[in-house]
Amino acid sequence: MNNKTKAHLALLGANLFYGAGFTVAKSIMPRLIEPLGFIFIRVSVVTVLFWLSFAGGEKYRAKIEKRDWRILVLGGLFGVALNQMLFFMGLNLTFPIHAALIMMSTPLLITIIALFVLRERISSSKAAGLLIGISGAILLMSAGKEITLTGSSALGDVFVLMNAASYAIYLVMIKPLMQRYRPIIVIRWVFLFGFLFVLPFGGPQFVAIDWSLFQPTDYLALSFIVICVTFFTYLWNIYALRYLSPSTAGAYIYLQPMFAAFISVLFTHEQLTWVKLLATMLIFGGVYLVNFGFRRGKKP
């Protein structure tokens, strides 16, 4: 299995976890944990996990060049602090599938940013893939009105959209560092700086958590968000960026509403209609064209 194939599998797994995370996070937020207190737990625990790699020897250590410190600090701001805080604040005010659908703006934002920052060219197949994926997202959104609009908050939608923009900026700016350092070295510094940004906002809400109210299933949900939806997703995304373009990585976000919808059907007994299945096929088709083009073997 070559590195590009592994990178695609990593992105698939990361977005599967993301899709599940929408529903799992809502099961304990804000019932037990406020959004920023949740982020404090995620970032602090995962920062420690990533820094354990420092004990792995010289190959997991590297002297950071002076010019790269600014990127790492901004990566912590946009890729961890703003990204996670805005998303959980938005998710706290809206429904999981609705938040997942709003995330569809991320690939477009990444493509636009990469066009100006990295001078990426948009091929006809990539443009067609983006349009097809967006069509599927719009179809899924219209089919899911009965579960996404009731009780939805406009402010929550804005927060999720701002999160998408923050994540797009992060993916584009961090890409050059993947060519100079190991992914684990980059991500541990990004999380350390992200933790420093999160600390003054999430610390007070973390202190206010009443742990006596937690049941075993609540601890399990919290562990899933911290380990799977944070640790593995960031690690796999940063690994994939070493071999794939930011726009290709961002295109996998099209899969999140599909995963979120299936999980909703499984746990909330939401009806899976033919319209939603068609939307899922369009999303898959869009991802395929963005990654592989119209002809087999064509580079993305």
Is-contact 195 203, C-beta < 8 A?
no
- What DSSP element (H or E) covers 183? helix 183-207
Average pLDDT over residues 246-270: 70
Extended strands (E) in the chain: none
Average pLDDT over residues 84-113: 73
Backbone conformation region of residue 63, classed left if phi is above 0, alpha if psi is from -120 to 50, else beta: beta
Lowest mean pLDDT among 71-75, 215-219, 246-250: 246-250
Average pLDDT over residues 202-227: 94
Q: Which of 281, 224, 175 shows the shortest CA–CA distance to 45?
A: 224
Average pLDDT over residues 200-214: 94
* Residue listed under structure tokens 């809206």: 94
Q: Is the predicted pLDDT of residue 292 greater than 70, yes or no?
A: no
Q: Over the range 45-65, which residues count as b (16 or more CB within 10 Å of their CB) and which as e?
A: bbbeebeebeeeeeeeeeeee
Q: Would you state the pLDDT for residue 295?
A: 55
| pLDDT averaged over every residue in the chain | 79
DSSP state of 144: T
pLDDT digits (tens, 9 = 90+) for 10-48: 998 988 898 888 788 888 888 899 999 999 999 999 999
- What DSSP element (H or E) covers 210? none
Q: What span, in angstroms and rounded, lies between the C-alpha atoms of 258 and 33? A: 27
37: amino acid identity, one letter: G
Which of residues 100 and 21 earns the better pLDDT score? 21
Q: Which of 98, 195, 111 shows the shortest CA–CA distance to 153?
A: 98
Q: What span, in angstroms and rounded, lies between the C-alpha atoms of 72 and 238? A: 13
Q: Is the predicted pLDDT of residue 297 greater than 60, yes or no?
A: no
Q: pLDDT class for 271, splitting at 50, 70, 90?
A: low
Which of residues 55 and 293 earns the better pLDDT score? 55
- Percentage of the chain modeled with pLDDT above 90: 26
Q: How far, CA to CA in Å, does 280 sit from each of 141, 146, 198, 211? A: 11, 18, 35, 39
Q: What span, in angstroms and rounded, lies between the C-alpha atoms of 299 and 123? A: 10
Lowest mean pLDDT among 37-41, 148-152, 180-184, 204-208: 148-152
Q: What span, in angstroms and rounded, lies between the C-alpha atoms of 197 and 77? A: 7
Is-contact 72 231, C-beta < 8 A?
no
Q: Would you state the pLDDT for residue 293?
A: 67
Q: Which of 77, 8, 43, 62 shows the shortest CA–CA distance to 225?
A: 43
Start-to-end C-alpha separation, the chain: 18
Average pLDDT over residues 58-62: 82
Q: Is the predicted pLDDT of residue 151 greater than 50, yes or no?
A: no
Q: Is the predicted pLDDT of residue 211 greater than 60, yes or no?
A: yes
Q: Is the predicted pLDDT of residue 266 greater than 80, yes or no?
A: no
* Residue listed under structure tokens 């995963």: 259
Is-contact 251 287, C-beta < 8 A?
yes
Question: What residues have CB less than 8 Å from 111, skipping those under 6 apart?
Answer: 120, 122, 126, 130, 247, 250
